[in-house]
Chain A
Amino acid sequence: MSLDLSSENRMTWVGAKTLVDPQVSIKRGALFVAENRIRNMLKWWTSIIAFGLGNPTLYLLSIGIGIGSLVDNSLGPNAIDHVSYLTFLAPALLATAGIQGAMDEVTWPTLEGFVWDRTFFSMNATAITGKQIANGVMIAAMVRCVLQVFMYELCLLAFGAISWQSIPILLLVASSAGLGFSSIMLAFSASIKDDDGVFALVGRFIITPMFMFSGTFYPITSMPIYLQWIGWISPQWHATNLGRALSYGMPIESWLVILHWAVFLIMTIIGFSWAHRVFTKRLEA
């Protein structure tokens, strides 16, 4: 059918009942959401690449090499875990990249979707459900996370901090930590009614301490015992420790390996079920 809208323009119109099969969105809605998120990200792709490669390069030049030579000079070469300081540092830096990369793509977009632009409400006006929006945001965030970790790995490889064989396993570990932590952050962001600087507080009191006290720069065991608990609850430490064990063979108990993976898994499960509930409730109100 073709409907006459005006003398100069016509609109074809078969009607939604014929045109739209709800099952398509019911099955693949999360991917459509991810597609939109990635389209949004592509608007910033130059910054994402520049930041993804530039940040590690600067970091490795200043901290890694500078402090590295200081450590190696004062403690002797390969004093920690029998590897260079840069190799010791690498899994921790990758964990940070994974966590940060995933987090950036769940926190701001979620606040934008619920508060600033209310785009989640427009998605939910179609066949897309709250659960699918949460999943779609996470899928896109993981694309960014994997990409960011991989770029970091390329830099580490160039600086000789990791071997190319350890690239897949370190990528998996850092991305799992990113997934676990950002699932929680996804739910948390969806619970925020209005951004009154909550994320700045999260950055100051959660992210920074997590980075500082998670055995990033020295083994967690060289910290006083009353600070070590921060490491135990921090995905940053779990990813760092697991990465060290699986990349250059730092000695580790097998139960601890299982525990590290379990932490990522549990955070993911808790985060997702919380996020699904918050997303659905907020859109249905």
Chain B
Amino acid sequence: MAKKTDAEAMIVATNLTKTYGEFKAVDGINFTVRKGESFGLLGPNGAGKSTTMKMIAATSQRTGGELLILGKDPNTSGPEIRAHLGVVPQQDNLDRELKVWENLMIYGRYFGLSRKFLKGKIEELLEFAQLVDKRNNKTEELSGGMKRRLTIARGLVNEPEILMLDEPTTGLDPQARHILWDRLFRLKELGVTLVITTHYMDEAEQLCDRLMVMDKGKIMAEGSPSELIKKYSSKEVLEVRFGSDNNASVAEQIAGIGERLEILPDRILVYAENGEKALEAIVKKGLHPVTSLVRRSSLEDVFLRLTGRTLVD
């Protein structure tokens, strides 16, 4: 695969800002998304992910900063930009009165595509979204996962230069999530440029080549999932529980073990190169955790390190 740092810049945001009254929902962020990349915005609820997405989808007007999408400014070329984008909003907004295939048809018509072209396209998209046998159902009869897949198929009807997905799997059961990830992974393999927001670290790790960790409208860190983990966390994490009343006092006694400690209400996280060794050191001090677990570091740990809070509460 060609190195993506040289690829064409699809989105360039410079000091991008959005305020609602006094409140800064997006607070001067900078980033670039290149062709063929799968770029993620990871952050908790209220971080400003959707607000950012709406600005780069050329619908919501920015309050400040510069923004170029496909080389154009959305303030002056909104329709031209949107004609070449695919958008999957956080909230499904399918037409309930219309059938599955009709939803794809009308959406294609908004791009000025001919009915003849769309007839063929709809077949491909139904197959892609695994909705062939639901084509004549009204959308209100679909499950959450099916609606989501239909919304994604709809976003692909114009063969977009960038597909934007705002929390594609939030609210879905694990099986539906895996089907969706599989579909998105195929798009990624095709070379479709993806921008994905999520508050699930596993989703970010699965789907994104590079991501931005967002909190309170600001970018906390940026890089590939593995780079972020390397930079902001240790290789392994030891999770120990001493019962919620004891965690704080135990933490004082084990300070110095590992590189860093995080004390959560229900457990202590010990960041260390070698989790087993850290556990041995704790036991040597005569302390016996109720439960212990050694695992690899994840983006959750990166987020905790950066913000002092957990991603999903």
Contact = CB atoms under 8 A, between A and B. Distances in A.
Interface residues of B, number: 39
Nearest to A29: B110
B83 to A, nearest CB: 4
Contact of A125 (B87, B109, B112, B161): B87
Interface in A110-147: 117-119, 121-129
Contact of A32 (B80, B110, B128): B110
A21 B158 CA distance: 10
B96 A11 contact: no
A20 B61 contact: no
Contacts of B106: 32, 35-36, 39
Given A13-B190, A21-B112, A117-B93, A126 B107 contact: yes
B91 A127 contact: no
Nearest to B99: A43
Interface residues of A, number: 43
A285 interface: yes
Contacts of A29: 79, 110
A153 B59 CA distance: 44
A141 B187 CA distance: 40
Given A9-B127, A9-B128, A20-B84, A126 B95 contact: no
B80 A127 contact: yes
Contact of A25 (B83, B94, B95, B128): B83
Contacts of B93: 117-119, 121-122
A125 B57 contact: yes
A119 B110 CA distance: 12
A16 B159 contact: yes
A126 B79 CA distance: 7
Nearest to A21: B112
A72 B125 CA distance: 66
5 contacts: A16-B159, A36-B95, A39-B98, A118-B91, A129-B79
Interface of B: 57, 59-61, 78-80, 82-85, 87, 89, 91, 93-98, 102, 106-107, 109-113, 120, 124, 127-128, 154, 158-161, 186, 190
